[in-house]
């Protein structure tokens, strides 16, 4: 889907470039047709394609953002999967060593320590995304704060994972084999289906922090609808430019407006 966007941006550039070339070519203006006379393209000449330069520029900005964030999204997802795999092995090792039916506290670290593990796994990639976001504006700035993005990501992972493991402990009723299967299924779900979208969202959120730090106001909301339409984000775009620091209709000064949101802000001058 993102490759489709890149192709569309490239096509728009060609159309705009051809339009400029057509205007520059020739010795003078083309005579206007007589009033009321129908116009049609010359024989064998394709109909012209109108491209809104502002829309093309927005699509290009989204494509450039995607090109910056995609490698980090993949790397972060890989780091989180590695942390999950290591933790799964630790839990299963603990299960084998224990001679009695284990409790959740015997299998997993404390909630704070558990969360810190994933904050550590995520911080480097999110800091990199934030720094790349700084290049999306016309000013300069220091590295944007991303600690709360990392904390939120780690909280989402560990709260849900601890709940799944606790359910597995309860349902196993002391049966080690059943518990081992439940634990493995819990971690497999996270590694296979849940981590990647969460990593993508966190990276885009960190990148948006960097962009917001340097872009000059007034700001306008640019919708990225490749993942599907979002009426709330459309409302933000329709609200028009707002002063930097004010909030859009969804209540945020900048994207993301919701999990999975990949919108961005641009200066109203862009």
Residue 148 lies in a domain: yes
What residue ranges in 136-203 does DSSP mark as E strands?
A: none
**229 burial level (CB within 10 Å; 0-12, 13-18, 19+):** exposed
Residue 38 lies in a domain: no
What pLDDT is stored for residue 139 in this prediction? 47
Residue 28 lies in a domain: no
Residue range(s) defining the domain that contains residue 222? 216-270
Q: Are residues 199 and 254 in the same domain?
A: no
What pLDDT is stored for residue 226 in this prediction? 82
What pLDDT is stored for residue 68 in this prediction? 96
Q: Are residues 79 and 4 in the same domain?
A: yes
Q: Along the 270 residues of the chain, how does pLDDT read in single tens digits?
A: 455 555 544 454 444 444 454 545 454 554 554 544 455 555 555 554 555 666 789 999 999 999 999 999 999 999 999 999 999 999 999 999 987 889 999 999 999 999 999 999 999 999 999 999 998 554 455 778 999 999 999 999 999 999 999 999 999 999 999 999 999 999 999 999 999 999 999 999 999 999 999 999 999 999 998 877 789 999 999 999 999 999 999 999 999 999 999 999 999 988
Q: Are residues 63 and 187 in the same domain?
A: yes
What pLDDT is stored for residue 16 in this prediction? 42
Q: How far apart are CA 89 and CA 92, in angstroms?
A: 5
Lookup: tokens for 154: 């780690």
Q: Are residues 6 and 128 in the same domain?
A: yes
Q: Are residues 257 and 159 in the same domain?
A: no
Number of Cβ within a 10 Å radius of residue 263: 26
Q: Are residues 205 and 260 in the same domain?
A: no
What pLDDT is stored for residue 104 in this prediction? 95
Q: Are residues 208 and 229 in the same domain?
A: no
Q: Are residues 176 and 258 in the same domain?
A: no
Number of domains within the chain: 2
Domain boundary among 214, 230, 261: 214
Q: Are residues 226 and 183 in the same domain?
A: no
What pLDDT is stored for residue 23 in this prediction? 46
Residue 210 lies in a domain: yes
Q: Are residues 204 and 223 in the same domain?
A: no
Question: What are the residues facing 68 on neighbouring strands?
Answer: none
Q: Are residues 134 and 174 in the same domain?
A: yes
Lookup: tokens for 147: 């600690």
Three-class secondary structure of residue 250 per DSSP: coil
Residue 120 lies in a domain: yes
């Amino acid at each position: 889907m993102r490759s489709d966007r890149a192709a569309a941006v490239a096509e728009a550039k060609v159309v705009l470039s051809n339009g400029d070339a057509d205007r520059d070519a020739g010795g003078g203006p083309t005579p206007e047709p007589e009033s009321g006379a129908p116009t049609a393209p010359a024989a064998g000449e394709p109909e012209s394609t109108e491209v809104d330069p502002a829309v093309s520029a927005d699509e290009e900005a989204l494509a450039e953002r995607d090109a910056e964030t995609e490698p980090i999204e993949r790397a972060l997802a890989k780091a989180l999967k590695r942390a999950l795999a290591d933790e799964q092995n630790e839990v299963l090792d603990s299960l084998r060593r224990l001679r009695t039916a284990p409790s959740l506290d015997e299998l997993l670290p404390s909630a704070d320590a558990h969360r810190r593990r994933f904050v550590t796994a995520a911080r480097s990639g999110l800091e990199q995304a934030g720094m790349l976001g700084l290049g999306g504006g016309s000013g300069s700035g220091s590295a944007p704060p991303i600690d709360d993005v990392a904390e939120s990501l780690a909280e989402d992972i560990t709260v849900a994972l601890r709940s799944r493991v606790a359910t597995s402990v309860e349902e196993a009723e002391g049966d080690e084999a059943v518990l081992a299967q439940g634990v493995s299924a819990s971690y497999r779900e996270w590694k296979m289906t849940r981590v990647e979208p969460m990593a993508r969202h966190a990276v885009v959120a960190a990148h948006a922090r960097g962009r917001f730090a340097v872009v000059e106001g007034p700001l306008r909301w640019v919708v990225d609808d490749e993942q599907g339409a979002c009426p709330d984000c459309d409302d933000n775009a329709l609200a028009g430019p707002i002063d930097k620091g004010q909030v859009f209709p969804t209540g945020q000064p900048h994207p993301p407006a919701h999990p999975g949101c990949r919108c961005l802000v641009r200066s109203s001058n862009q």
